[in-house]
């Protein structure tokens, strides 16, 4: 099975997010970069499918040259080849992103395209779906369990929604977006890291993947700026320490109307 996994270089955030002075981006001077947890799981799922069914994993990203750091991370987890669709690092619309990634997928003739359910930074929730339309392939999203039956060449994908288990069955080739929890991703081994370091990453200019350069900027959707929501800190009323605080806690729960 030939699998393409799409990942995105995003800032690592662990605490409060701080913005650059112009409010246009996350301040990453002290945070570094990563891929989203959903995507780590997508890479892991791809590597496991290939371990079970044969084939290889290609990882692709759309981003600046610095995004090779994330590609090499994926290579260290078991992907065997990597493709960088090189941009100047500015944000591209989900439409362009999907078009560029679909171009790579269609050129590679992959059986399966895996993505994270959404990128952790922009949270657009649509790149995988738009890709599937470019590729004319079925798509399922938010998947938490994935099985492949080699004899029927069918994928079974599961997720839960409002206490209901949803199962999708679809033939390859297909696009699947996954969520954290589908697996517990491995950590990169030292030999894996050294293989990744030596790997040659293919670079493709973004303009060669889309036919209309004017699409790089979207007149229909313009981001004006980012801000940190004002809400957040509440001033907690300390009800007390240890078990001595329990009567007061019970009273408050009553006030909040949550006691049966």
List Cα–Cα distances, 17 to 14, 36, 51, 156, 222, in angstroms.
8, 15, 38, 38, 22
Q: Does 193 bind other proteins (CB under 8 A)?
A: yes
Q: How far is the CB of 210 from other proteins (least distance, A)?
A: 14
Q: Does 200 bind other proteins (CB under 8 A)?
A: no
- From 30, 109, 211, 212, residue interacting with other proteins (rule: CB under 8 A): 30
Q: Does 212 bind other proteins (CB under 8 A)?
A: no
Q: Does 220 bind other proteins (CB under 8 A)?
A: yes
Which residue(s) pair with 135 in the sheet? none
Measured CA to CA, the distance from residue 3 to residue 109 in angstroms comes to 9
Taking the chain, what is the end-to-end CA distance rounded to the nearest angstrom? 54
- 3-state DSSP assignment of residue 84: strand
- From 1, 47, 188, 206, residue interacting with other proteins (rule: CB under 8 A): 188
Question: Binding string to other proteins for residues 74 to 113, with x set by CB under 8 A, is what?
Answer: -------------------xxx--x---------------
Which one, 109 or 225, has the nearer CB to other proteins?
225
Q: Does 132 bind other proteins (CB under 8 A)?
A: yes
Measured CA to CA, the distance from residue 260 to residue 254 in angstroms comes to 9
- From 2, 138, 207, 215, residue interacting with other proteins (rule: CB under 8 A): 138
Which one, 205 or 254, has the nearer CB to other proteins?
254
Q: Does 233 bind other proteins (CB under 8 A)?
A: yes
- From 54, 89, 123, 213, residue interacting with other proteins (rule: CB under 8 A): 123
Q: Which secondary-structure segment (H or E) carries 166?
A: strand 164-171
Buried b vs exposed e over 193-215: b needs ≥16 C-beta within 10 Å?
Answer: bebbeebebeebebeebbeeeee
């Amino acid at each position: 099975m030939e699998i393409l996994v799409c990942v995105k270089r995003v800032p690592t955030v662990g605490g409060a997010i701080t913005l650059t002075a112009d409010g246009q981006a996350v301040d990453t001077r002290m945070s570094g970069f990563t891929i989203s947890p959903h995507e780590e799981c997508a890479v892991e799922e791809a590597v496991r499918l290939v371990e079970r069914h044969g084939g290889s994993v290609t990882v692709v990203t759309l981003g600046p040259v610095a995004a090779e750091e994330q590609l090499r991370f994926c290579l260290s987890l078991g992907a065997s080849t990597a493709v960088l669709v090189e941009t100047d690092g500015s944000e591209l619309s989900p439409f362009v992103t999907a078009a560029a990634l679909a171009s790579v997928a269609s050129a590679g003739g992959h059986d399966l395209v895996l993505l994270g359910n959404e990128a952790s930074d922009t949270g657009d929730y649509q790149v995988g779906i738009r890709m599937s339309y470019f590729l004319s392939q079925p798509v399922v999203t938010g998947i938490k369990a994935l099985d492949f039956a080699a004899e029927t060449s069918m994928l079974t994908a599961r997720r839960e929604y409002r206490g209901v288990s949803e199962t999708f069955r679809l033939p390859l080739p297909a696009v699947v977006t996954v969520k954290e929890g589908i697996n517990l991703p491995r950590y990169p081994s030292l030999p894996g890291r050294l293989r990744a370091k030596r790997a040659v990453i293919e670079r493709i200019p973004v303009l060669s993947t889309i036919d209309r350069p004017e699409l790089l900027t979207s007149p229909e959707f313009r981001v004006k700026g980012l801000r940190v929501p004002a809400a957040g800190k509440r001033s907690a009323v300390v009800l007390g320490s240890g078990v001595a605080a329990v009567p007061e806690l019970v009273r408050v729960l009553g006030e909040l109307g949550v006691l049966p």
